Structure 1
Amino acid sequence: MADVQTVAKQLVETIGSVAGIRFGLEEPRFDAVELARGAQVRQYGERIAAQTRVPALAEEQARSTGFRRLAKYIFGANHGSRSISMTAPVAVQTGRANGTSIAMTAPVAQHRDAGEWVIRFFMPSQWTLETLPEPDDDRVELVVVAPEKYAVLRFSGGYGTRRVAEQTEKLRNILRETGFEPAGEATAWFYDPPWTLPCRRRNEIAIPVT
């Protein structure tokens, strides 16, 4: 009976994700104030992320490569012994790997650094560097992300290279109009799986600001 209930729960969560409904998907906490034209300024506290660096491939190819590499880590490709429930939508794919499973959080972050793409999964807040299991893949590293202030612009629809570039330029224009100074490179944040209806997707561009 428990197995039937689990499958039913996963089915409901997966169907919900098609419409952009996120069941219990944890996000890093932040304080926000409205900026202009739909943008916000957000202050994030310290966070822990699993990240991987992908050589300078095409943006979408690098994103896919990095996502798969990090997904293996949270699905159980790690030196762990405890089992932790996954959250939708990735819960449908769990249960076949050894080791500890780590809950998926949103967003998935992507930015370019010195000719490489850096892809990050933020870890659930109950984990620390000391308690997180060590990745099996040495291309995956656990890092502490320092507190930071971002200007953030949310958008729906596709998240291909051109769409991300358009929204990044839009946010840069807003910063110029409002007198904010960028303090780093733009990062793209993605909250939904590929099968979510484009009109229901939550995507964001984030630029560190002073």
Structure 2
Amino acid sequence: MRAIGLGLVLAGLLAGMAGAEGMMRKGYEMPPFVVVDREGARDLRDYGPRMVAEVTVRGDRRAAVNTGFRLLAGYIFGANDAGGKIAMTVPVEQAEQGEGLWVVRFTMPAAAVAAGLPAPADGRIVLREVPATRMVVEGFSGLPDGDDMAARAAALRTWAEGRGLRVVGGPVYAFYDAPWTPAGARLNEVGWEVR
């Protein structure tokens, strides 16, 4: 895993030097990406490969993200074989798997990947590499609810397909801010993997 981790760190740093946007939000590291095209609040982005910690949970969207967040927070706050803390990153991602299943994911910080990630104490948490990905993404503020998120995802998919993009995965929801952040100051995103 250390060899993969070092390669991901170098890829992330190179992407950052090559014009990647959004390396940090409010002091938290985030996955580097390059905006290929932009129309209003919608971006076509290229993300480099990255390491994530993820867990699959069952429930409605809100309950699933809360459960997944607690499990992953336990891992980065010391519930791992090294007993050490790992820096928090943003966003918290949630991907729909169908039939009430959701994957909740934290991107692992570059320094922790370079040092070698400790194994999670909770066997439900999986560490894996996410390959380079092209995404169409729409950002918005406010308090996300299930119906609003689903409607935004459907509209974004229609928009992407109308521009000749083939949707191959998603939707993925991303949440950048703490629950106590005022609705108007929040950044949320919905996205689809495209080719």
- Give the TM-score, by structure 1 length: 0.77
CA distance in 1, matches of 2:98, 2:152: 22
CA distance in 2, matches of 1:113, 1:22: 27
Is 2:32 aligned against 1:48? no
Question: 1:175 and 1:120, CA in 2 relative to 1: closer, same or farther beyond 3 A?
Answer: same
- Shift of residue 176, structure 1, vs aligned partner: 2.8
CA distance in 2, matches of 1:150, 1:46: 13
Q: What is the aligned-residue RMSD (CA, Å)? A: 1.7
Amino acid at match of 1:27: M
Superposed counterparts of 1:17-166, under 5 Å: 22-55=25-58, 57-80=59-82, 99-115=83-99, 116-128=101-113, 131-166=116-151
- Give the TM-score, by structure 2 length: 0.82
Consecutive aligned runs of 4 or more in structure 1 exceeding 3 Å deviation: none
Q: Deviations over 1:167-190 (max 9, x none)?
A: 112211211332211111210011
Compare CA radii of gyration and give the structure with the larger one: 1
Count residues with an aligned counterpart.
171
* Structure with greater contact order relative to length (CA < 8 Å, sep ≥ 6): 1
Amino acid at match of 2:180: W
- Shift of residue 114, structure 1, vs aligned partner: 4.9
- Shift of residue 129, structure 1, vs aligned partner: 8.1
Is 2:160 aligned against 1:175? yes
Q: Deviations over 1:78-106 (max 9, x none)?
A: 111xxxxxxxxxxxxxxxxxx21010001
What is aligned with 1:94?
none
Contact 2:55 2:68 in 1 (8 A): yes
What is aligned with 1:199?
184
Q: Quick check: which one's strand share is greater? A: 2
CA distance in 1, matches of 2:79, 2:34: 34
